[in-house]
Structure 1
Amino acid sequence: MTPPPDPAGRVRAVVTGIGVRTPVGNTLDEVVAAVMAAAGTAAAPVDVLVAQRAAVRFACRVPEFDPESTLSLRELRQIDRPTALALCAAVDAVRDAELPPLPPERVGVHLGAGIGGLPTMEATALDHGADPMGMPVHTVPRTMANSAAARIAMRYGFLGSCLTHTTACASGTNAVGEALRRIRHGELDAVVTGGFDSAITTIMLSGFARMRALSLRNDDPGRASRPFDADRDGFVMGEGAALLVLERREAALARGARIYGEVAGYATNSDAFHIAAPHPEGTAAAACMAGAIADAGLRPGDIGHVNAHGTATRLNDAAEATAVDRAFAGQAPPVTSIKGVTGHLIGGSGALEAAVALVCAGRRTVPPVANLARCTEADRIDVVAGAPRRVALAPVLSNSFGFGGQNACLVLTPGT
């Protein structure tokens, strides 16, 4: 579809490149195929967690991750796994976009990371806590949350704003939205943006388990992530990265770029309610959705489907269902969540879900929620289950809601 003109006459931003590293594939087509099949959660036991008899012993890891095929040995000595995931995804995204030479000060990098260099922090504390003078020389650059954004800018010589947004599970969505604003305001012509995280560590999983936020299905990890299901018992930790290249629409059209679609609307706000629990009435989340739709110059009835945050935690899914129902005045379009397949990528989740939602909207198909047997929110929202749902070609709303009451929503329109 051809997006309508921007209602405020603003510069428009389109997606011309996408790169991913995920538990279900390292190309966008692989990820979309996996979420359409909805065969179950891509989770498996993690050896170190099993050996330590941790409360939660499984997660969704990126399998067969081979950063040496993309990054130099020197780079790999200086970075940790989260940054390596982000860098590899960024290289794929820039290559996919076929970016022409641009003034370097007109290209920026905006990433989202909920946790950042936690694997290095934990390993360093365990290995060198009793010997501070033996700390590895690269400890600080490996643990910096902004390391990935800086490395991408350094690799390509991009001199524009280079920012890392940390808003828990909303980080990737906020990064994409703030990149959109930089293009709209004329500050940048292109932005490499998205999110990443890798927090599959003993301390982090044990901490989330103590909060009763994680699924405890150690004996059945493939059915552990159950967004909106009556038997959900928490989210499944995942890892990965999703990077997008945003460009000014006019420039992308002029060079004949392949365009996935437009980032048409964005809004962000705060629940200001609780550090970990969402507001049960979903008032701020609903306002965030309404704000993103209005920012795109659309009405709620124009949205073809909703990609929910859908974590599979009892409080979050219930609050999001209430918020969606409120935002659409009881007339919500079909709703899905891909976390039943991918697990929760924390800072990487919002960007990955936005990319998947955009492609699915372009294919006029909504993926079903994996592991959904009985939806407790069916009285308020239409959650897609069992098989993909055919829909009309229309914009999609993608939600991200993080600890601390961080809300962020994007509206994405397929086509040029």
Structure 2
Amino acid sequence: MASERIAITGMGAVTPIGMGVAAYWENLISGKSGTGKLTRFDPGELPVKIAAEVKDFEPTDFLPKKLVRTTDVFMQYALIAAEEAIKNSGVKADPSRIGVVLGTALGGIATMARTQEEMTRSGSIRLSPHTVPKMLGNVAAAQIAIAHGFQGPSLTVSTACSAGADAVGVGSMLIKSGQADAVVAVGAESILTGLMAAGLASARALSTYDGDESKASRPFDLNRDGFVMGEGGGAVVLESLDFAKRRDAEIQAELLGYANCSDAYHVTAPEPNGRGEIHCIQKALNQAGLLPGQIHYINAHGTATKIGDAIETKALKAVFGEEGAGRIPVSSTKGATGHLMGAGGLTELIACIQAVREGIIPPTINYETPDPECDLDYVPNTSRKQEVKAAMSNSFGFGGQNASLIVGRY
């Protein structure tokens, strides 16, 4: 079963630049920015005033009122993205053979922070019985299973910024091991709280850019100063290729490779030579059976931190060679969406799938001043028409978590 090929038959997205895959992709290749003034809470004295929020989001437009009342916002994004992916796929199977794997870094932290603030302010300990389920990370996967009657494996992975990518990888492993015919892999996140902004600001991870908010996220640019907090959700439906063919599904791409590894170095800083990133990328290539020159597009982790972007560039050169890396288009879509944390691995994989399907490479927006330490082809500011047979998506997170996915044309 380990050699089972994996088809991707459905996609769904909730992002700061669009609801649904079509809007997300159109705005991505058009160079639209989703960053702006932070409105979800009052940042007060915090140096961080910018975020990439899901705009004009009214959950009752998509979900029943009772479900909205009993779910954290990250769960709502997960449910909406999964619903689109499932409809897009048209997947039908024995319910006990359809699984859900969800990736999230911090689960219901918005509910957690808000509830603690309310208790401190009011002095009351009377809480809704829905409070704890709204905080639990695994309840998002449970809600998707309940909504669709899926009774197969249900897992939640929490590997920081790699969680969405790892959800896809774990889903593929469930299929390859024979435990499911299809898996809905989801990534979802909303960390827009004063608690997270203060914590990340103290670690000097966030941008404190005070110019045009739409230009705050500047991956690989010389003047980048940290990432912009984003939020959203993404989902794909994975199926064994044989199962997808038997039901005559539209196969949108094939998942060719997945790898996960640890830096084993530091809880927040990447290993200075990119050791873990290099190992992860090489493992994914080996699993896909591809040579470095057979990758035609790389969606970089590219968060716009000084250290992270430079080390990722170094890692790509180590794997693909100085000349080879320079020939491959590398873009960071976080310039447009901000950093979606656990949702990023899925939304960025969708960008890779669309690049394969449509022959368009999304740009790295807000790239104005080249950095001598970051000297690859970052597809600056304007999307590019180019054939893409295989694309790689990299996600690297706190804890030295590394994940790489490779998708290709079926």
Aligned to 1:107: 98
Aligned to 2:393: 398
Residue pair 2:256, 2:408 contacting (<8 A) in 1 also = yes
Q: Separation in 1 of the partners of 2:30 and 2:19?
A: 17
Q: Structure 2 residue aligned with 1:382, among 377, 382, 399?
A: 377
Letter in 2 for 1:19: G
- The 5-angstrom pairing of residues 115-134 of structure 1 reads 115-129=106-120, 131=123, 133-134=125-126
Q: Separation in 2 of the partners of 1:24 and 1:139?
A: 30
Q: Separation in 2 of the partners of 1:234 and 1:379?
A: 15
Q: Separation in 2 of the partners of 1:81 and 1:386?
A: 31
Q: CA-atom RMSD, angstroms?
A: 1.6
Aligned to 1:90: 82
The share of aligned pairs that are identical, in percent, is 38
SS at 1:122 equivalent: helix
Q: Structure 1 residue aligned with 2:246, among 238, 254, 268?
A: 254
Aligned to 1:4: none
SS at 1:175 equivalent: helix
Q: Separation in 1 of the partners of 2:119 and 2:263?
A: 40
Residue pair 1:49, 1:58 contacting (<8 A) in 2 also = no
- The 5-angstrom pairing of residues 296-315 of structure 1 reads 296-315=288-307
Taking structure 1 as the reference length, what is the TM-score of the superposition? 0.94
SS at 1:170 equivalent: helix
Aligned to 2:6: 13
Letter in 1 for 2:24: V
Residue pair 2:267, 2:399 contacting (<8 A) in 1 also = yes
- The 5-angstrom pairing of residues 125-164 of structure 1 reads 125-129=116-120, 131=123, 133-164=125-156
Residue pair 1:322, 1:380 contacting (<8 A) in 2 also = no
Residue pair 1:195, 1:242 contacting (<8 A) in 2 also = yes
Q: Structure 2 residue aligned with 1:362, among 351, 357, 364?
A: 357
Aligned to 2:308: 316
| 1:379 to partner: Cα distance | 6.3
Taking structure 2 as the reference length, what is the TM-score of the superposition? 0.95
SS at 1:47 equivalent: coil
Aligned to 2:331: 336
SS at 2:282 equivalent: helix
Any gaps of 5 or more consecutive residues in structure 2? none
Shifted more, 400-409 versus 356-365: the winner is 356-365
Aligned to 1:37: 30
Could you give the per-residue CA deviations for residues 105-142 of structure 1, whole angstroms, max 9, x where no partner exists? 21100010011101110111010136453122211000
Q: Separation in 2 of the partners of 1:326 and 1:303?
A: 15
Letter in 2 for 1:118: I
Q: Separation in 2 of the partners of 1:199 and 1:78?
A: 18
Aligned to 2:275: 283
Matched, 1:229 2:193: no
What number of residue pairs does the alignment pair up? 406
Residue pair 2:43, 2:194 contacting (<8 A) in 1 also = no
Residue pair 1:269, 1:406 contacting (<8 A) in 2 also = yes
Shifted more, 117-126 versus 211-220: the winner is 211-220
Residue pair 2:162, 2:402 contacting (<8 A) in 1 also = yes
1:247–1:137: structure 2 CA closer, same or farther, 3 Å change rule?
A: same
Q: Separation in 2 of the partners of 1:353 and 1:56?
A: 25
Shifted more, 294-303 versus 152-161: the winner is 152-161
Residue pair 2:256, 2:407 contacting (<8 A) in 1 also = yes
Q: Separation in 1 of the partners of 2:344 and 2:40?
A: 24
Matched, 1:347 2:342: yes
Shifted more, 47-56 versus 10-19: the winner is 47-56
Letter in 1 for 2:336: V
Residue pair 1:14, 1:249 contacting (<8 A) in 2 also = yes
Q: Separation in 1 of the partners of 2:288 and 2:5?
A: 10
Letter in 2 for 1:262: E
Aligned to 1:170: 162
Could you give the per-residue CA deviations for residues 329-368 of structure 1, whole angstroms, max 9, x where no partner exists? 2212111110000111000001100011111122222122
| 1:322 to partner: Cα distance | 0.5
Q: Separation in 1 of the partners of 2:175 and 2:385?
A: 33
Letter in 1 for 2:19: N
SS at 2:232 equivalent: strand
SS at 2:55 equivalent: coil
Shifted more, 228-237 versus 42-51: the winner is 42-51
Q: Separation in 1 of the partners of 2:39 and 2:293?
A: 48
Could you give the per-residue CA deviations for residues 52-104 of structure 1, whole angstroms, max 9, x where no partner exists? 2322112111112222133222212211111111111111111111112x112
Residue pair 1:264, 1:413 contacting (<8 A) in 2 also = yes
Letter in 1 for 2:85: A
Q: Structure 2 residue aligned with 1:205, among 197, 202, 213?
A: 197
Q: Separation in 1 of the partners of 2:107 and 2:292?
A: 35
Residue pair 2:310, 2:373 contacting (<8 A) in 1 also = no
Residue pair 1:227, 1:310 contacting (<8 A) in 2 also = yes
Q: Separation in 1 of the partners of 2:125 and 2:45?
A: 31
